[in-house]
Amino acid sequence: MAQKEYAFPKGFLWGTATAAHQIEGGNRNNNWWEFEQRPGAIRNGDSSAKACDHWNLYKKDFAWLTKLHQNAYRMSVEWSRLYPEPGRLDRKALDRYVAMIDELRKRKITPFVTLLHFTVPTWWDRQGGLLNRRREHLAHFEEFCTTVAEAFRGKGVYWNTINEISIVMLGYLTDEFPPAEKSFLKAARAVNTLLALHETAYRSVKRALPDSKIGLVHNMQMVQPLDPRSLSDRALARAVDFLFNGSIFRGLKTGRLIHGKRLPGLRGSTDFFGLNFYNFMQVSRSLPDMVRTATPDPTCGEEKLCAGIGWEPYPEGLYLALKRVAAEFPGMPVYVTENGIGTDDDAWRRRYLVDHLKMAHRAVEDGVDLRGFFHWSLMDNFEWAQGYMSRFGLINMDYRTQKRTLRESGRLYGEISLRNAIPPAALKKFPGDIYRPRF
């Protein structure tokens, strides 16, 4: 039987994604840096102080993008770097970001720029951070967004407003993220502020650049009841799904915040949907912490779970997530803005990549308007509370020497981008069925 051709639509964007705090080094003026100073907050006591030194090495890093035949790249601009103090713009830092964008364009790579990827300036945090939704507080973010939009005018940038509202919210439900508090009330308030920041970003960039394309980036949690026959598990799954997904979708569609109050301007404030996809979430009151992200005795073996984070791969979930986005937002262009695995086993990373791309392709065949795919990540980097032990890169990082070495998965991804299809050799190597957790 002839092998199926997994070819992607013409003009499909192939990229990788990164975030400023995770790769740049030297970001000591934000809430994550503060959090890192707490003993025990970061695994092995790792620090983002140097990270991949990308702030200085960006040209070398972007040369890799060309070697990997990339036509897109997703990065973030660090607010605390541009505004180390309220109202004081660091022009040199802004120039550096402009140089980065120019370097990408020189290489014919479409930049996707995220305005807020987890970190906020320390001074803004001290003024109430994500729990303060007052106009003058949000105006600081507006100033930052407008500055960046104007600086990148005419450079063909696609905009991502906020990265993963529901994951930032985890800082108010778990101790993995700052401010490491546990309060449902505060979590809901933080979601409302983040929706308001998204609206602020959308409005400011649109005002500065009316023709630009701007989208939210959402991490879709595929929430399932642990026992589908249990009423209580099903009710919990619905509630958790609303908290993580539904509240955000509803906000974008109706303009309502989590408690139902309307925010003018929120409704319809996304031109495309940025989907990050990693894992499933099974919920039940009978589970410790009510949640699990891996089945007991996964068939892929514990060492193949996402290192440190313990997510079990769920390729089919990417297909289901894409279908859900298309159902919630009919006709809206979609980009997979992140997908990848933290592992030391690069063959497993390749399989993960192929399995997920098969599912992305299936969604395209079903009519989902998927326009691009960004692998997380270009190179190993500072994986938040997991520090450096979770390696997500197509490029291996030696943090001691800052030496970058391409992995086989990187070579494979480069070939995929070049062909705009999964190459036959990879299909042969990872044949048959995709990996499926035994729910």
Residue 110 binds to ligand FCB (criterion: CB under 6 A): no
Site string for ligand FCB, 388-407 (x = CB under 6 A): ----x---------------
Candidates 384, 413, 430, 435: give the one binding ligand FCB (CB under 6 A).
384
Q: Is 269 in the site for ligand FCB (CB under 6 A)?
A: no
Number of Cβ within 10 Å of residue 401's Cβ equals 7
- Minimum Å gap between C-beta 215 and ligand FCB is 15
Distances (CA, A) of 225 to 92, 98, 236, 310: 51, 47, 7, 19
Dist. CA 370–CA 272, nearest whole Å: 10
Q: By the 8 A CB rule, do 122 and 80 touch?
A: yes
**Which position has the token pair 């981008």?**
417
Answer yes or no whether residue 78 interacts with ligand FCB by CB under 6 A.
no
Chosen residue from 16, 163, 284, 339 binding ligand FCB by CB under 6 A? 163
SS3 assignment, position 85: strand
* Residue 24 annotated in active site: no
Question: Is position 143 an interface residue for ligand FCB (rule: CB under 6 A)?
Answer: no
Q: Residues 53, 372, 383, 391: which binds ligand FCB (CB under 6 A)?
A: 383
**Residue 173 Cβ vs ligand FCB, minimum distance, rounded to whole Å:** 15
Residue among 78, 143, 164, 199 flagged as catalytic? 164
Q: What is the DSSP letter of 25?
A: -
Query: Tokens 């502020």 identify what position?
Result: 193
Q: Of the two residues 204 and 390, which places its CB atom closer to ligand FCB in the complex?
A: 390
273-292 residues in contact with ligand FCB (CB under 6 A) are: 276
Binding mask 209-238 for ligand FCB (x = CB under 6 A): ----------x-------------------
**Which residue's C-beta sits nearest to ligand FCB?**
19
Q: Is 16 in the site for ligand FCB (CB under 6 A)?
A: no
Residue 141 near ligand FCB by CB under 6 A:
no
DSSP H helix total and E strand total for the chain: 15, 13
Report if residue 19 touches ligand FCB, rule: CB under 6 A: yes
Nearest residue to 353 via CA among 398, 411, 405: 411
Measured distance CA(396)–CA(65) in Å, rounded = 14
Say which DSSP state 302 is in.
G
Give the whole-angstrom CA distance, residue 334 versus residue 322.
Answer: 8
**Could you confirm whether 408 is annotated as catalytic?**
no
Tell me the HSE value of 194 on the side-chain side, using a 13 A CA sphere. Answer: 29
Q: Which of 164, 316, 355, 380 binds ligand FCB (CB under 6 A)?
A: 164
SS (HEC) of 192-240? HHHHHHHHHHHHHHHHHCCCCCEEEEEECCEEEECCCCCHHHHHHHHHH
Which residue ranges make up the site for ligand FCB (CB under 6 A)?
19, 22, 163-164, 167, 219, 276, 338, 376, 383-384, 392
